[in-house]
Structure 1
Amino acid sequence: MDDETLSEWAERRDTRIGRLRAVPLVPGGSPRGSHLNPDAPRAIQRWNGHMWEPHGFAVNLAETKRILFPGTEAAPASGPAPRLGPGTGRHRKPQAPE
């Protein structure tokens, strides 16, 4: 058998300490996807090595993402969006600049 040693297991467990997760606060069963109920408040929980403990609170999905993923805000697009050629197909190609 390829069992890991206790020290390897403890090291793997300790790397997860401090990890955060968000739990939607909605009535009934909690939704499976984070995009469901984007305006619902969320409890932020922190892993302490043995169990998830309360860490904070967010009022909606946007604030939750700022807490869980700091510094990953999308950069503004550079320049205007390309103009699409005539037609209604979904595979239209951008026009060449004039």
Structure 2
Amino acid sequence: MDDEPLRDWADRRDAKIGRLRAMPVVSGDGPRGSHLYPETPRAIERWNGHAWEPYGFAADLDETKAVLYPEASRPPSPEPVSKPLGTGTGKHRKPPAPR
């Protein structure tokens, strides 16, 4: 059996510390998919390396996404404008039509 070194395992475990997740606050058999109850409040939990601990609270799915994915709520940085293909005789281009 190939066991991984303890140091590698510890590094993988420590890389997950601080990860956030949201759990819908619903009655019943437990957590459900977020798309099923978009208007329900969510408890936001943070992984501390050993267990999920309470971190925050969100009123609905939109607020939850803003907390979990802050980079998605920022406007995108302007992309450089690509140049349209100009005239040329590349192998992939069609030859000019005869007149």
Please report the TM-score for the alignment, with normalisation by the length of structure 2. 0.71
Pair 1:8 & 2:32 matched: no
Separation (CA, whole Å) in 2 of partners of 1:67 and 1:60:
11
Pair 1:29 & 2:5 matched: no
Sequence identity (%): 63
Name the one with the larger helix percent.
2
Gap regions ≥5 residues in structure 1:
77-98
Matched residue, 1:54: 54
Question: RMSD of the TM alignment (CA)?
Answer: 1.7
Deviation of 1:32 after TM superposition, in Å, equals 3.3
Encode CA deviations 1:46-81: one digit per residue, 9 max, x unaligned: 0000000000000000000000000213869xxxxx
Q: What is the one-letter code of the residue matched to 1:48?
A: N
Encode CA deviations 1:30-49: one digit per residue, 9 max, x unaligned: 34321111000000000000
Gap regions ≥5 residues in structure 2:
77-99
Separation (CA, whole Å) in 1 of partners of 2:74 and 2:33:
21
Separation (CA, whole Å) in 1 of partners of 2:73 and 2:49:
29
8 A Cα contact 2:22 2:64, kept in partner: yes
Separation (CA, whole Å) in 1 of partners of 2:31 and 2:11:
32
